[in-house]
Structure 1
Amino acid sequence: KPCDTLRPAATAGNPKAAEISTAKSAISTATAAPAIAATPLATSAPAAAEIEQLQQALIEKQTQLYALESACLRETERQVELEDSVIAWQDKYDRLYESHKRVQKVNQSLEDKMLKLVDRNAGERAQLTSDVATLSVRLAQANFNIAKLQREIERYKADISLAIQLLQCKPDSFVSQKVSSLPIDIQSKVSAYMRLETNSHSDSECSNSGVGVATTASYKVLPASDSPPPSACPFPPTAMVYSMRGIGRC
């Protein structure tokens, strides 16, 4: 009968199936013994009723065993499915782990690059800070020099104003200065200025006088090397270098 034995595939590796098989064997042994013992002896009515009850209980137990066997088979099939699922999840885990290791390598590389950039930016920042400090010192020095030059310019303006006032008071008290006695750089500026004045007045006066003739003309204030020629001096003709004699008489 199919109820006497369980399938080997169902019981292999399954403790529950083995337990069911052991219980079923014990029940079969227990039912076989009363049948053999009842054969040679005449049974009475109470004994027959007891045997009937035992047979009924045996049928119930066999039904339970069939149900347990079916459940065991279902659990075996489910175990196979779970094993397949475990294998699939293990494969997914392995792939995720490999991806995680690759991402870790990429992150480490990016972190190293970021640290290098931070170090380089820190060095550039320190260099820029040093440059700013140096330029600030130079700017302060330049501002100091500009202020000093402005004070000197104001002093020169005051000196020139005083000289003009002295020349206006007593022009005859000052001695004329020759161009040849001036420093070389001043001579070149004076010569260039006189040539410029000669060329500007040559068309209106229609004369061919040279630089030597122009020296007898009235002198004007020398312009700076980077400034345009000034207009006609509003003061009377005077010499470039003056004598301090006669200042008290003005």
Structure 2
Amino acid sequence: MMQSDMKAFLLMFEKACASGEPVVSFKSGRPQIENKWTSMALMVYRETILGGTVPTTEVVSQVLGCLQLPHDAALRDRLVSSLGNISSQKQHSIFPLVDGFGEYDPRAFSLLEEATSLGVLPSMSFNKVPLFFDTTELPKNVAEVYLLTIFKGLKHRLAAGAKIPHINLIISMEEKEITTPEGEKTIELAGRAGQEISALLRRLGIPYHRKDSKLRINGVSLKNWFQPKLDSPFSTKPGDLRSSQVPLGNQITRQQRSIRLGNFSLE
């Protein structure tokens, strides 16, 4: 029952976004979804979990879909204007400074971490280098938010003085028949979730290298992305990771201790 409800809520939310209905609020100072269908999805999801039912991966993905920010120019301009005077050529640089990276309502992170704690989703270890993230069995929204959650964890890790590792992503592939001058030929293309992951990285301005089903994100490139050289209300000086809305200074000691103990989490 919950899955059919969530699917209906997601369809109505997507319809609202497609029609141009305002679904994002900046009242809290950060982008947050404010829509009745999202509110209903979160309410039903919460009540179901409190009732003792463990959600499926697909249900988690549908709820996360209700927390995805629209990909429209007006919202991007609003994000940029909320950070001060930033040229259009540098808009990619704002995303590491925005809660949710300009892709999802920040509540999506908590929801995904809760699903991980319930055993619905696999946990990620930061102790293996390079990091390995297999997206092939994950629905689109889960794969996207999981990757963003990894970025969030690595950003905190960088603030604690740790080195940023390379990330290897495995994406699903699909076979497709094409017609060539030599006749019919079967080729492998990235599946839908893989295409969405690639599009996400391009929107964020994170460079990656693809070979077959593997996407590789260089640790140095990711470190540079985390440290944009911008003058904005989020930072005290260009390139500083500190944010007026997301103060990390008081978390560094805790993060360093966690890293030394080898139990660094995605929080």
Q: Do they superpose with TM above 0.5?
A: no
The structure in which a higher percent of residues are strand is 2
TM-score, length of structure 2 as denominator length? 0.19
TM-score, length of structure 1 as denominator length? 0.20
The structure in which a higher percent of residues are helix is 1
Larger Rg: 1 or 2?
1
